[in-house]
Structure formats: C-alpha cells, structure tokens
Copies of this chain bind each other. A is one copy, B any other.
Amino acid sequence: MAGAARPEPVGHEGGVPLAYYAAPGRPLERCATREEIVRRLRSGRGQLWVDIDSRSDAEWSLLEDPFGFHPLAIEDTRSPESRVKVEEYQDYLFIVARSVRFAMWTPAPYDIALFNTYLFLGRNYLVTVRGEESPAVVAVVARLEGAPELMSRGVDHVAYMLLDALVDSYFPLLDEIDTFVDELETAIFREPGADTMERIFALKRSLLSLRRHLAPMREVTATLANRPSTYLTPDTQVYFRDVHDHVVRQVESVETFRDMVSAAMEAYLTTVSNRTNEVIKALSVIATVVLPPTLVASIYGMNFGWMPGLHHPLGFWLALASMVAISGAFLLYLWWKGWL
C-alpha cells in the first residue's frame, strides 16, 4: 500500500489523521473517522497509533481534544526549533526527535536540512506529529501493513520502529561525508584547487551543525533504552538499545570527522607554507645566479675610457668567464646549503 518512493500523503483526508488500532485477539484495523479515533482512545483497551500532520489545523486540534496534552508540549510541535528531548508528563512521555530530510544534500553539497518528529507515548496510545512528509512514517506504515502482528507488541514497539527509521536517515549523509574526507587528502597534497579551503570550511560548518543536532539525540535514546518507564516494556527497551547504538556510532563518526577536518585544515596551511617556501627558494636561486653577472656586465658597460681588459683581445671572454665563475660560486654555495 505504501512504498518509500511514494510522494503523496498517507491517508490524512479531511482532517482525519492516519490511525491504526489493534485490540487484543483482533486484526489490525484502520480508523477512518475522528469519531472512531476518539472512541478507540476512550475505550482504554487495545493499542492506538495516530499520526498527525501538523500542517492541518483540523488534525492538529486533536492534540488538545480528545488527547488533552500539555499546552507547552503542543506549542513545541509547531516550533521547528524545539529542543530534542524526552520529557515525562503525568500520563505520557513526550519525545522530540530530529532527523535529516531525504535527498537534502543535492543543491549545496554539505548543507544539512533537518526536521522534527514529535511522539506522545501513553500507556495504550502513540501520537506522532510532524510538519512534512516523513519517509520514516511511510516505512513504518508499510511494515505494519505487511506484518500487522507487530502492533500487538504494543505502541512502544511502534515508537521504536519510527525512531529507528528516523535515526537511520543520518547514515547516508555520514557515508557521503566519509567519501569526501577521503578525497580531502588527495585534494590537499596532490592537486589543491582554489576552493579547497572553502570546501573544508563548508564541511566543518556542516559537521558542527550535525553534532549539535545529534548530541541530544544520543541523550534521548539513552533515556529510552536505560531508564525504567511506565510507558516502555523491558522487551522494547532492548530494541531501543539498538537505536542508541546507532546514534552513538553516528556521534563518534561526527567527532572523528571533525578531528580529521581540523587536521586537514592544519595540514593544508602547512602545505601552503611549504609551497611558498619552494617558490621563494626558486626566486632566490634565479636572483642569485643572474644579478651578480648583470653587475659585472654593467660595470663593463660604463663609458670610462679605460677599464681593465677592455682593449685586451680576449677581454670579452675573460669578462664572461668571471660572470660564469661568480654564478658558479653562488650555485655551489646554494647547493651546499641544500637549496637545490
């Protein structure tokens, strides 16, 4: 029914959010109307997952009624800058997760676009809120449609599947960066272009931004994996450990990339200095070899009536020989100093 490439929204017609309900011993069913969602929620039995697109005011209003979440949490779901976190309210956990938008690095190679997904996890319901199409939600829907029995593990397992998909969105980006960092070495030591420094700097910026977004994700997954909670069964927490492992590996990658980019910056500066040194050495060699003979030639270009050897038949050759001798002496000296 839903595939990763499908662009149009899943469900969500007429202010009715996508909603799945699983009662014990009954097949997974899809709730088609708001009334059905409210009824299922109020029954207090079974497992209910509601996915709300916050761009639709009709859907968004469900957060206040019938769910009645805290005003501050509801406010957070509309602010794209909400901090990544887990907060415990009286009847539910509130989770803000951040992920990378699909196909985001096409125009500006290392510019990162991020978006938030919000989860309200109660005892028998999960409400997810997002402000744009979410490939992660599409993927979870596809898995649920294919294996409806997953829902009976509880809504916390659905939350796990969603966070797992969100976190995995970082891997392609990190692989991209890994490739670029590998290219950097060639760029620096073999064929530095005019924009090498600019690209290093742009990469550093992206890594700083990435770290800033990933670091709190690590705390969120650590909390979900380790802290005992009414809303998470120990079985599901084992799965969250897996998500936490992924985030930890991502954070470590970013840290290592940062250190490598810093080292690359330093190496580039040193390489430039090295090249300047070479150029200036070449300039010095030219000057040392050419200027002294020019002085000798200028001397013999003076208009004095008499200069030593001026009228000697071999005068020209002797002057030339002295020029060669002087240049040769300087060349020897430079060779001895190790500049050649």
Q: B-contacting residues of A (Cβ < 8 Å)?
A: 70, 72, 81-83, 85, 87, 89, 185, 188-189, 195, 197-198, 200-202, 204-205, 208-209, 212, 238-239, 241-242, 245, 248-249, 252, 255-256, 259-260, 263-277, 279-284, 286-288, 290-295, 297-308, 310-311, 313, 315-316, 319-320, 323, 339
Q: How many copies does the complex hold?
A: 5
Whether B303 and A303, one on each chain, are in contact in the complex, defined by CB atoms closer than 8 angstroms, is yes
A256-B304 in contact (CB<8A)? no
Bound CA span A53–B304, Å:
89
CA distance A54 to B266 in the complex (A): 42
Partner of A208, one of B195, B241, B260, B274: B260
Residues of B within 8 A of A302 (CB): 297, 300-301, 303, 316, 319
Q: For the complex, what is the distance from the CA of A188 to the CA of B270, rounded to whole Å? A: 12
Within the assembled complex, what's the spacing in Å between the Cα atoms of A152 and B85? 30
A271 touches B72 (CB 8 A): no
Residues of B within 8 A of A204 (CB): 260, 263
Closest Cβ–Cβ distance, residue A93 to chain B (whole Å): 14
Interface pair A212/B316, CB less than 8 Å apart: no
